[in-house]
């Protein structure tokens, strides 16, 4: 008798039917005259009841077994199981394979540290919560395929072995065995190729693309990751964003049955930084940044003189619980952002207190109370210095307090676009001009006049979609005029020789009728993380790397045989034996 169905396909409608199920033993309880087995397959758990008189072999946790029996109603239902109304009265139990005692508990709540989970990932993946994450990932991909196909997109694969081009992060290099001393690069994204597909006349392309970036890791990054890559021709920014909103709406509906209200809000980059201190703001709670420079225009405090920016946030209801230690921690955080410190004011019994208060005039106190709507027991945090240091610091503190104070309602989703990014940014350390996104981002037409005089004033047709404070995707209208593209390269300090060597084939293609085009990429891993309800990107990738970019299961990266190195013409120095 072959397997008749998955566990959770059975319900009270199937009572009386003979079935054959297979799966893993999740739990076994032996009560002497009766044995209960929780049988787990990919779909979920069902209870197997083995009554007295039915002989069964030795069965332990994680054994793979086959069960034959009859579907029966339970005397007492289990509301925690999808199959909680029924059980299988076993007539036969066969062991397909045995298992050692596992080094982690196979359940939603496990006792294992992450390193153990990653080392035994094939066991970790048996946990129902991990299977749920993979189901969410799969459903997102299916929604993408169906929606984009209906919108006349075509899926095209682009090369994995390609040319090393500057795209913002370090490349992973692959040495050539045939051409010693020359290297392929793994793609940081399909950016150049998808633009070439537009020149090739495809008009609407997409791909579930593998991408590789050699950069420092964090909770929501991996060295190899997956993005939903999209490019279109002949659409303006509003048309393109509207189409992408439809895709997001479909993804949310299919995966978590959540209705996204359209159109999504749009914040300019400046609005996002001014009000939230971040270009990926979580606007689910109402702490905002306030510009208080005008209030302190006549201040005698030395830290406020001749500074670019003075901003503040008001944290509600924490003054009484803010100790000296907490204030020292806030000051240390400011120094991490390159600022000398913070001015912290506590409001106790409707009076300002703290070491900074002696620098405040009565007019300044009154203005702060009025403009910032300060209440008793609020905490006022003021930062002064360069705009691009003050805003991110207060944005980080805003997020910290939003989480600590429970200001974010669980299960809610906040989606918006951030638009009008600067085309260029100046490196804080060396002053060098770099692309905010990438060198193929189109400048706003009205700002082209600044290319020669002050490129940092130029805004771009770039956009990011932000979900709950995560950058879930981003893109831009692309440059399609070869003269503008060459000028952008020059602003970035690339010589004609550099342009030819790094982008020659791409620049050449612009001479043959390039259409106006636009695109973006959604981070599939981040989308899955958000919709799956976890804050760790490693949870939603089947076989991820840890924060050291190591796979504890396989041991990658690792040394290779000398013969392999000889084939590649490579000698390794400082080899760790």
Domain that holds residue 69: 7-97
Residues 315 and 445 in one domain: no
Residues 425 and 557 in one domain: yes
Residues 432 and 455 in one domain: yes
- pLDDT of the residue at 500: 84
Least confident of 105-109, 161-165, 300-304, 501-505: 501-505
Q: Is the confidence at residue 278, as pLDDT, over 70?
A: yes
Residue 430 maps to a domain: yes
Residue 124 maps to a domain: no
CA 315 to chain centre: 27
Residue 63 maps to a domain: yes
Q: Is the confidence at residue 186, as pLDDT, over 60?
A: yes
- Where are any strands of DSSP class E within 176-308? 183-185, 204-212, 224-233, 265-268, 290-291
- Look at residues 356, 376, 404 and tell me which one is the last residue of a structural domain: 404
Own/partner contacts of 367-376, CB < 8 Å, gap of 24 or more, are 367/295, 368/292, 368/295, 368/312, 371/290, 371/292, 371/295, 372/290, 372/292, 372/312, 372/314, 373/314, 374/314, 374/347, 375/316, 375/347, 376/319, 376/347, 376/348, 376/349, 376/350
Mean pLDDT, residues 409-423: 95
% of the chain with per-residue pLDDT over 70:
98
* Dist CA 430 CA 446 (whole Å): 29
Comparison of pLDDT for 292 and 493, the residue scoring more: 292
Q: Is the confidence at residue 260, as pLDDT, over 60?
A: yes
Q: How confident is the model at residue 459 (pLDDT cuts 50, 70, 90)?
A: very high
Provide the CATH number for the domain around residue 219: 3.30.930.10
Residues 290 and 368 in one domain: yes
Nearest to 128 by CA among 101, 102, 103, 110: 110
- Look at residues 55, 81, 97 and tell me which one is the last residue of a structural domain: 97
Residue 441 maps to a domain: yes
Q: Is the confidence at residue 362, as pLDDT, over 70?
A: yes
Residues 484 and 532 in one domain: yes
Residue 118 maps to a domain: no
How is the beta sheet containing 517-523 ordered, strand by strand?
154-155, 204-212, 224-233, 517-523, 470-477, 462-467, 415-419, 265-268
Residues 246 and 140 in one domain: yes
Q: How confident is the model at residue 219 (pLDDT cuts 50, 70, 90)?
A: low
Mean pLDDT, residues 238-254: 98
- Look at residues 97, 117, 146 and tell me which one is the last residue of a structural domain: 97
Residues 151 and 236 in one domain: yes
- pLDDT of the residue at 32: 86
Residue 154 maps to a domain: yes
Q: CA distances (Å), 341 to each of 203, 311, 394, 509, in order? A: 52, 13, 12, 51
Residue 348 maps to a domain: yes
**pTM (predicted TM-score):** 0.93
- pLDDT of the residue at 115: 94
Mean pLDDT, residues 240-245: 98
Least confident of 233-237, 355-359, 504-508: 504-508
Q: Is the confidence at residue 509, as pLDDT, over 80?
A: yes
Residues 419 and 526 in one domain: yes
- pLDDT of the residue at 426: 81
Residues 296 and 400 in one domain: yes
Q: Is the confidence at residue 577, as pLDDT, over 60?
A: no
Residues 215 and 244 in one domain: yes
Residues 11 and 31 in one domain: yes
Residues 242 and 135 in one domain: yes
Q: How many domains does the chain have?
A: 3
- pLDDT of the residue at 215: 86
User: Quick check: helix, strand or coil at residue 454?
Assistant: coil
Residues sharing a CB contact under 8 Å with residue 280, sequence separation 6 or more, in sequence order: 272, 418, 464, 466, 469, 470, 471
């Amino acid at each position: 008798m072959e397997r008749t169905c998955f566990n959770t396909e059975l319900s009270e409608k199937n009572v009386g039917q003979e079935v054959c199920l297979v799966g893993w033993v999740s739990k076994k309880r032996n009560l002497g005259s009766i044995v209960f087995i929780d049988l787990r397959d990919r779909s979920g758990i069902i209870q197997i009841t083995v009554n007295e008189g039915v002989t069964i072999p030795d069965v332990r946790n994680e054994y793979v077994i086959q069960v034959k029996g009859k579907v029966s109603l339970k005397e007492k239902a289990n509301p925690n199981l999808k199959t909680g109304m029924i059980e299988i009265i076993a007539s036969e139990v066969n062991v397909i394979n045995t298992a050692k005692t596992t080094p982690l508990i196979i359940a939603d709540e496990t006792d294992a540290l992450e390193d153990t989970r990653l080392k035994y990932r094939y066991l970790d993946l048996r946990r129902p919560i991990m299977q749920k994450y993979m189901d969410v990932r799969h459903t997102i991909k299916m929604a993408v395929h169906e929606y984009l196909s209906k919108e006349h997109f075509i899926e095209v694969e682009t090369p994995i072995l390609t040319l090393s081009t500057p795209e913002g992060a370090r490349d992973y290099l692959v040495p050539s065995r045939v051409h010693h001393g020359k290297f392929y690069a793994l793609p940081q994204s399909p950016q150049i190729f998808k633009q070439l597909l537009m020149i090739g006349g495809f008009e609407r392309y997409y791909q579930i693309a593998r991408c590789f970036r050699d950069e420092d890791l964090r909770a929501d990054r991996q060295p190899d990751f997956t993005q939903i890559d999209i490019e279109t021709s002949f659409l303006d920014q509003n048309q393109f964003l509207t189409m992408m909103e439809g895709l997001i709406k479909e993804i949310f509906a299919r995966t978590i049955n959540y209705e996204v209200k359209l159109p999504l809000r749009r914040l300019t980059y400046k609005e996002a930084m001014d009000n939230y201190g971040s270009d990926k703001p979580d606007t689910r709670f109402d702490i905002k940044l306030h510009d208080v420079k005008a209030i302190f225009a006549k201040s005698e405090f030395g830290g406020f003189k001749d500074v670019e920016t003075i901003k503040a946030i008001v944290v509600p209801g924490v003054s009484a619980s803010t100790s000296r230690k907490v204030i020292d921690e806030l000051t240390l955080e400011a120094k991490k952002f390159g600022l000398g410190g913070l001015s912290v004011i506590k409001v106790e019994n409707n009076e300002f207190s703290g070491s900074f208060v002696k620098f405040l005039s009565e007019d300044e106190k009154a203005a702060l109370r009025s403009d910032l709507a300060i209440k008793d027991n609020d905490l006022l945090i003021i930062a002064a210095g360069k705009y691009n240091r003050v805003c991110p610091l207060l944005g980080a503190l805003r997020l910290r307090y939003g989480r600590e104070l429970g200001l974010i309602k669980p299960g809610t989703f906040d989606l918006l676009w951030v638009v009008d990014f600067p085309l260029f940014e100046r490196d804080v350390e060396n002053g060098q001009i770099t692309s905010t996104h990438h060198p193929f981002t189109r400048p706003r037409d009205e700002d082209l006049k600044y290319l020669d005089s002050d490129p940092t004033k130029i805004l771009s047709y770039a956009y990011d979609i932000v979900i709950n404070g995560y950058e879930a995707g981003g893109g831009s209208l692309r440059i399609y005029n070869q003269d503008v593209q060459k000028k952008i390269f020059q602003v970035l300090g690339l010589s004609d020789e550099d342009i030819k060597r790094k982008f020659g084939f791409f620049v050449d293609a612009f001479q043959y009728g390039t259409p106006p085009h636009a695109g973006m990429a959604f981070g599939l891993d981040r989308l899955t993380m958000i919709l799956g309800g976890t804050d760790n990107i490693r949870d939603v990738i089947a076989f991820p790397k840890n924060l050291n970019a190591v796979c504890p299961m396989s041991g990658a990266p690792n040394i290779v045989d000398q013969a392999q190195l000889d084939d590649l013409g490579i000698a390794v120095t400082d080899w760790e034996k």
